[in-house]
Amino acid sequence: MSPERYQRIRNVLARRQTDLTVCLENVHKPHNVSAVVRTCDAVGIHRVHTVWEEKYQFRRGTAMGSQNWVRQTNHDTIDDAMATLKGQGMQVLVTHLSPSAIDFRDVDYTKPTAILFGQEKYGATDKAKALADQDIVIPMMGMVQSLNVSVAAALVLYEAQRQRTIAGMYDKQHLPEQECQALSFENGYPRLFKLCQRKGIAYPPLAENGEIIADDSWWQAMQITPLEAAALSVDSD
């Protein structure tokens, strides 16, 4: 990994928002899931939450590689997801047209916030809506009453980004250094990362220029020399 690539990675990770997230409840179309994750990466979200009756995978083509940068936590039930989010002190918003719903732009997104989007056809479940703190809506002036879930997510998340930018919340690092190091290694040295996973070896720390800091025992466990590792890094860049 070149020093320039490492610096770019660190600049991105320095702006990650650990207290802003999305929860997708049974959003089952892979291209929608991947498109939402791509937007999450673009606005600096570190982790997304999902509730799936079946385990879906991000569609790589639509996600454009963003699935490598955004962590995912899957929950078996909406109760589990809500308990996790509220346990982190987040206000939970749900897109739902109801008498108590407010314009999505009237929310204070500088607070710890989770935004819940429901299944494409039916929206959020009754349980999810009951557990959420606030219904939000995107004003519609046409005949249709809803937008594609990935479009709705983009609108809401960019309003959150706008407010957080004004508040200076992108100007300091929120992500723990250990997580920054892990993501830098995983994406800066993808082949070595896969080798670590296969062998069950801990990631090495990285120097300020992105070089691997490891003793002889680590390299021996990897059964690869630093010179060979450098060649693999060039290939992956």
Query: Measured in whole angstroms, how far is the alpha carbon of residue 232 from the centre of its chain?
Result: 27
- Residue 131, annotated as binding a ligand: no
Indicate the DSSP class of residue 201. P
- Residue 62, annotated as binding a ligand: no
d(CA 53, CA 79): 13
Nearest-10 Cα torsion for 34, 36, 41, 42: 120
**SS3 call for 17:** strand
Beta strands 47-51 and 91-95, pairing class: unpaired
d(CA 12, CA 6): 10
Residue at token pair 């940068």:
69
- Residue 201, annotated as binding a ligand: no
Structure tokens at 49: 């939450």
d(CA 123, CA 121): 6
- Point out the annotated binding site: 95, 138, 147
- Point out the annotated binding site for S-adenosyl-L-methionine: 95, 138, 147
